């Protein structure tokens, strides 16, 4: 089981990811990685800039949607090009809480090998599910 896979010919003008994780935290971290690697060659990112994310949601799938949307927000509002993330999700009273630390760089077109400026996370075929091996998600982003 890899971290994620790009699924061809699902979203012609966009990009579809199938994402895997041993546990929910790993799933969210790999989903973030899919976003980071779609935005830039992460080997060109040092990872010295830090940002924190804290979110709450009623369900895991809306939590993932909000988390990934937050990464796109940070890219534009804080100029953060992510390299990796550390995610911790807890559940109490039917609410899921997420805390994440993102490591990346301030975007520098001379230094970084850039790819796509992702517009948004879509709900198209969006899915988070428990599998035999752990967890899986399906996410299509608008390019």
Contact indicator for 107, 81 with CB cutoff of 8 Å: yes
Min dist. Cβ of residue 133 to another protein (A): 24
Contact indicator for 85, 103 with CB cutoff of 8 Å: yes
Give 77's contacts (C-beta < 8 A, 6+ positions apart). Answer: none
121 binds another protein (CB under 8 A): yes
The count of C-alpha atoms lying within 13 angstroms of the C-alpha of 116, restricted to the half-sphere facing its C-beta, is 14
69 binds another protein (CB under 8 A): yes
CB closer to another protein, 55 vs 97: 55
Judged by CB under 8 A, the residue of 39, 82, 100, 102 near another protein is 39
The maximal CA–CA distance of the chain, rounded, in angstroms, is 47
Which residues form the interface with another protein (CB under 8 A)?
6, 8-15, 39-40, 62, 65-66, 69, 72-73, 75-77, 79, 81, 107, 109, 113-117, 119-124, 126, 140, 142-143
């Amino acid at each position: 089981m890899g971290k994620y896979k790009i699924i061809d010919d699902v979203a012609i003008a966009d990009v579809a990811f199938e994402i895997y994780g041993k546990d929910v935290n790993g799933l969210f971290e790999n989903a973030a990685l899919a976003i980071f690697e779609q935005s830039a060659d992460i080997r060109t990112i040092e990872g010295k800039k830090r940002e924190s994310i804290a979110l709450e949601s009623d369900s895991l799938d809306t939590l993932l949607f909000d988390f990934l949307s937050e990464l796109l927000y940070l890219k534009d509002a804080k100029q953060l090009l992510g390299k990796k993330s550390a995610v911790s999700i807890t559940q109490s009273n039917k609410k899921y809480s997420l805390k994440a630390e993102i490591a990346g760089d301030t975007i520098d077109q001379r230094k970084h090998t850039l790819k796509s400026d992702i517009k948004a996370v879509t709900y198209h075929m969006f899915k988070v599910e428990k599998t035999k091996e752990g967890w899986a998600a399906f996410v299509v982003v608008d390019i």
